[in-house]
Chain A
Amino acid sequence: MLRILQKHIGLSVLLSSVLFAAQPSPAQSARPTPPKRTSANLPPAPDQAAADRGHALFGQTCGFCHGKEANGGDGGPDLIRSLLVNHDEHGELIAPVVLNGRSDKGMPKFDLTPQQISDISTFLHARNRYVRYRQLYQVKEDIVTGDVTAGQNYFNTTGGCASCHSPTADLAHIANKYDPEALLVRFLYPTRRPSAAGKVTTVDIKVDIKLPSGQSFSGPLKHLDEFTVSMYDSSGDYHIWPRESVSLQIHDPLAAHLELLPKYSDEDIHNLLAYLVTLK
């Protein structure tokens, strides 16, 4: 099949990129998440002030045995994975353990107030919530680790980025529009990915169609699969043809991005990001 399509398009590898960009769908407009583990709506965020108070108190009172982050320490079990904590809702199971201790396991009792126990419970549930829902995992500014000069060199030479892009034109102030994570993923392959400002940018794929009669059309591609091709012409009118009845040429502005993917080293992408985040 690939060979058959190659005949029509000329660039086998292009087809996937064309299709990828050509079909807006919810699955592609948002950052893709592996479907098998998407959770339903997240439970409400905890009271952060209470969680912070609980964190400090936990560190002083419980951290020596259970670890300051409650993930286990010198003799005390991990409380994020604890069956009891996972079954606790609002401290009702945690309180008796804190107040009475567990002498059989060497845990002393702690004379804490109901408010203090509530704060510790809120902290433990906040930690648990963060581990449980990976949608909450933060990729932070510290992902920028590369060398700016090396990144600029890559942009201008090896990567060939400068043949389409300019730091003073289309990429001017690009670092103000996207956070580093979004910038990294976008320069690798800029699909319909929301920016930090929540705007969705699109990249139009242009298609040239030639009919057996000699008549030709040119404009944005709407849909392409192995059976049909559809597009909008310069007047905005919609057209569709059986795939085999026309010859077509795709102009994919993202083709160069795709060609780079197998060529990058991780150092290259870190350097390129370091350079791009300077374009404030």
Chain B
Amino acid sequence: MKPSLFLTSLALACCSATFLGQGLDSAKLLQQPVDTWPTFHGDYSGRRHSPLSQVNSANVKSLSLAWVYRANQGSIKSTPLEVNGVLYFTVSDHVWAVDARTGRELWHYAWKSAGGIHIGNRGVGIYGNWLFFETPDNHLVSLDIRTGKERWNKEIADLKLEYFSTMSPVVIRNHVLIGVSGDSMDVPGFLESRDPETGDVQWRWYTTPRPGQPGSETWPNPDAMAHGGGMTWMPGTYDPELNLLYWTTGNPNPVMAGQGREGDNLWTCSIVALNPDTGKLAWYFQASPHDTHDWDAVQVPVLIDGEFQGKPRKLLAQASRNGYFFVLDRTNGTNLLSVPYIDINWSKGLDAKGSPIRDPKKDPSTPGTLVSPSAHGGTNWQTPAFNPKTGLFYLHAEKSYSVFFLTDTDPKPEGYGGRDDKVWAAEFIEAIDYQTGKVRWTHDIGPGSAFMSILSTAGNLVFSGDNSGNVLALDPISGRTLWHANLGGVMNNGPITYELDGRQYLVFAADDSLFGFTLPAN
């Protein structure tokens, strides 16, 4: 980022937001997270790397419990936001505001649900004093962060068509960016920008083209395209200098039966760059052309400013669910690296654009096809982290095998059209060298089905969890455990850190509770 541009946007943001009191100063969104964790990833880069180093590899063994907050509403899958000393987090249909120093509740909001799939909620977005979150029955709800009182709610998708909503809204200037989920009824995915004051739609971008548009040639007919899926499950990232929004899209529909949608099925299973003011597509890269294994490509598009083959570049890296680690030039989408980060058995190599070529022999079949990885993927929605100092990309990964069955052999199948039986899996935290894709270390975390995300800090620490209920602090270079604490439940969210009153806090979720840790007071 050029300093001049950065400072200009910073100055503008500061001037417009200094009067907010408890609200979020939007300038915080353009800085590395220190006293604030203002958005899902901590900042727009998706790196989940904190510059804080009060807690570091030398003293992490002294880390002590500061507080516990028991939400008691099922597993917490959201990354909390921390703004002016208050944490805001969710589970499906619920939002809490909790004191970030003591864990004491300020308010709790409960949405009256009309139904929908309640698999979890990733968290909230904040604009000034206004908080935004999505519900399983597809409403965007806005609350006043001071009181937890509802300002308005807007229906964003049709529950009867089996849409449901889980993602954490991303706020960029006066755009609230929201996505949708739902793979069961062959509906189209989309990303929307909404007005933070009124909730009105500013623009909508469909993840599949309309007839005649570029990309429509990758579908056999308008019907397949209009029912082609591509859900926008996860929050994206943003480069303020390029003014490009990076979003990731889900698998095509029908999910496992591809016979009715011959072609690459753009822009499903893709990383796309959009203009956040207009929703106009700048470029795309497809992680899985014509996916048939439920390997959505919604994993975080992490923005890295660093060297690549000796030259400083603006990069984007993704460890994708299909088992590939991708590095792109984020100015134009050019692929620089595509390397598997786990053992896979479904790819015949790479095409000219760097996208993997799927082996049709490994498609789901009536008698069953043994595929690695399973539909769960090499990783899933859990978020990775990147440490600029080590140059390593950290993620919670999985090696696995599944038998994929095709259950709908109709020329025009519907819904999932198949399913997979997982036969075996092993889980671990993994560190990948972003310049080569080489796996530097793996740290076994035992078997299980949790979704632990990663936090990296300048204190030479990588925080995550294992499947035995331990929160872990690892050495970023070796992957060796430096500290652990058993919290009596598994981590299904993203750890965060912030500094208040000169003390660095770390916040982890274990099942239905949040745990705040800090070093003992002197």
B423 touches which of A2, A34, A185, A224 (Cβ 8 Å): A185
Cβ A226 vs Cβ B481 within 8 A: yes
Cβ B117 vs Cβ A39 within 8 A: yes
Interface status of B183 (Cβ within 8 A of chain A): yes
Cβ B424 vs Cβ A81 within 8 A: no
Interface status of B479 (Cβ within 8 A of chain A): yes
Cβ B424 vs Cβ A40 within 8 A: no
Closest chain-A Cβ to B314's Cβ sits at a distance in Å of 31
Cβ B117 vs Cβ A40 within 8 A: yes
Interface status of B197 (Cβ within 8 A of chain A): no
Interface status of A23 (Cβ within 8 A of chain B): yes
Closest chain-A Cβ to B161's Cβ sits at a distance in Å of 6
Cβ B119 vs Cβ A143 within 8 A: no
Interface status of A52 (Cβ within 8 A of chain B): no
Residue of A with least CB distance to B469: A225
Interface status of A19 (Cβ within 8 A of chain B): yes
Closest chain-B Cβ to A67's Cβ sits at a distance in Å of 8
Q: Chain A contacts of B421 at CB under 8 A?
A: 31, 181, 184-185
| Interface locus among A164-172, A196-204, A258-266 | A258-266
Q: Chain B contacts of A2 at CB under 8 A?
A: 428, 441-444
Cβ B424 vs Cβ A261 within 8 A: yes
Q: What are the interface flags for B118-138 relative to A under an 8 Å C-beta threshold, 1 for contact and 0 otherwise? A: 111000000000000000000
B407 touches which of A23, A138, A227 (Cβ 8 Å): A138
CA distance A273 to B368 in the complex (A): 11
Please tell me the number of chain B residues within 8 Å of chain A, measured between CB atoms: 70
Closest chain-A Cβ to B482's Cβ sits at a distance in Å of 12
Interface status of A15 (Cβ within 8 A of chain B): yes
B316-373: which have CB < 8 Å to A?
343, 345, 361, 365-370, 372
Closest chain-A Cβ to B337's Cβ sits at a distance in Å of 24
Interface status of A4 (Cβ within 8 A of chain B): yes
B-side binding surface: helix, strand, loop or mixed?
loop
CA distance A142 to B366 in the complex (A): 7
Interface centre among A139, A143, A144 (most CB of B within 10 A): A139
Cβ A133 vs Cβ B184 within 8 A: yes
Closest chain-A Cβ to B385's Cβ sits at a distance in Å of 17
Closest chain-B Cβ to A34's Cβ sits at a distance in Å of 5
Residue of A with least CB distance to B475: A1
Residue of B with least CB distance to A224: B446
Cβ A81 vs Cβ B366 within 8 A: no
A36 touches which of B119, B227, B401, B418 (Cβ 8 Å): B119
Known: A16-B426, A266-B370. A132 touches B442 (CB 8 A): no
Q: What are the interface flags for B444-465 relative to A under an 8 Å C-beta threshold, 1 for contact and 0 otherwise? A: 1011110100000000000000
A143 touches which of B405, B415, B449, B451 (Cβ 8 Å): B405
Residue of B with least CB distance to A145: B367
Residue of B with least CB distance to A70: B414
Q: What are the interface flags for A183-207 relative to B under an 8 Å C-beta threshold, 1 for contact and 0 otherwise? A: 0110011010000000000000000
Q: What are the interface flags for B399-428 relative to A under an 8 Å C-beta threshold, 1 for contact and 0 otherwise? A: 101010101101010111011011111111
B161-202: which have CB < 8 Å to A?
161-162, 181, 183-187
A134 touches which of B119, B416, B443, B479 (Cβ 8 Å): B416
CA distance A142 to B419 in the complex (A): 15
Q: What are the interface flags for B434-446 relative to A under an 8 Å C-beta threshold, 1 for contact and 0 otherwise? A: 0000000111101
Closest chain-B Cβ to A145's Cβ sits at a distance in Å of 4
CA distance A40 to B117 in the complex (A): 7
Cβ B343 vs Cβ A34 within 8 A: no
Cβ B375 vs Cβ A145 within 8 A: no
B444 touches which of A40, A71, A142, A226 (Cβ 8 Å): A226
Cβ A144 vs Cβ B407 within 8 A: no
Interface status of B262 (Cβ within 8 A of chain A): no
Q: Chain B contacts of A40 at CB under 8 A?
A: 117-118
A1-59: which have CB < 8 Å to B?
1-2, 4-5, 15-17, 19-20, 23, 25, 27-28, 31-32, 34-40
Cβ B380 vs Cβ A36 within 8 A: yes
Residue of A with least CB distance to B136: A40
A27 touches which of B372, B449, B484 (Cβ 8 Å): B449
CA distance A82 to B501 in the complex (A): 57
A1 touches which of B443, B467, B470 (Cβ 8 Å): B443
CA distance A16 to B466 in the complex (A): 13
Q: Chain B contacts of A264 at CB under 8 A?
A: 370
Cβ A134 vs Cβ B184 within 8 A: yes
Closest chain-B Cβ to A13's Cβ sits at a distance in Å of 8
A146 touches which of B367, B419, B448 (Cβ 8 Å): B367
Cβ B447 vs Cβ A23 within 8 A: yes
Closest chain-B Cβ to A244's Cβ sits at a distance in Å of 11
CA distance A261 to B441 in the complex (A): 23
CA distance A103 to B158 in the complex (A): 27
Q: Chain B contacts of A87 at CB under 8 A?
A: 160
Cβ B368 vs Cβ A132 within 8 A: no
Closest chain-B Cβ to A275's Cβ sits at a distance in Å of 14
Residue of A with least CB distance to B119: A36
Cβ B375 vs Cβ A34 within 8 A: yes
CA distance A261 to B443 in the complex (A): 22
Cβ B481 vs Cβ A137 within 8 A: no
B441 touches which of A1, A28, A67, A139 (Cβ 8 Å): A1
Interface status of B291 (Cβ within 8 A of chain A): no
Cβ A37 vs Cβ B117 within 8 A: yes
B184 touches which of A37, A142, A188 (Cβ 8 Å): A37
CA distance A19 to B467 in the complex (A): 10
Interface status of A86 (Cβ within 8 A of chain B): yes
Closest chain-A Cβ to B224's Cβ sits at a distance in Å of 11
Cβ B446 vs Cβ A132 within 8 A: no
Interface status of B223 (Cβ within 8 A of chain A): yes
CA distance A144 to B366 in the complex (A): 9
Q: Chain B contacts of A227 at CB under 8 A?
A: 468, 470, 484
Cβ B449 vs Cβ A35 within 8 A: yes
Closest chain-B Cβ to A200's Cβ sits at a distance in Å of 16
CA distance A34 to B287 in the complex (A): 20
Cβ A225 vs Cβ B366 within 8 A: no
CA distance A185 to B423 in the complex (A): 6
Q: Chain B contacts of A69 at CB under 8 A?
A: 410
Interface status of A240 (Cβ within 8 A of chain B): no
Cβ A145 vs Cβ B448 within 8 A: no
CA distance A181 to B402 in the complex (A): 12
Closest chain-B Cβ to A231's Cβ sits at a distance in Å of 15
Q: Chain B contacts of A16 at CB under 8 A?
A: 399, 425-427, 444, 446-447
Instruction: Please give 8 more A-B residue pairs, beta carbons under 8 A apart, in addition to A35-B119, A143-B366.
Output: A2-B441, A16-B425, A16-B444, A81-B185, A86-B161, A138-B407, A188-B401, A225-B470
A-B pairs with lowest CB-CB distance, top 6: A16-B426, A131-B415, A1-B443, A20-B447, A225-B468, A189-B424
> Could you write out 13 A-B pairs with CB less than 8 Å apart?
A1-B481, A19-B446, A23-B447, A32-B449, A35-B119, A38-B119, A83-B158, A86-B185, A131-B185, A132-B185, A139-B405, A143-B405, A225-B467
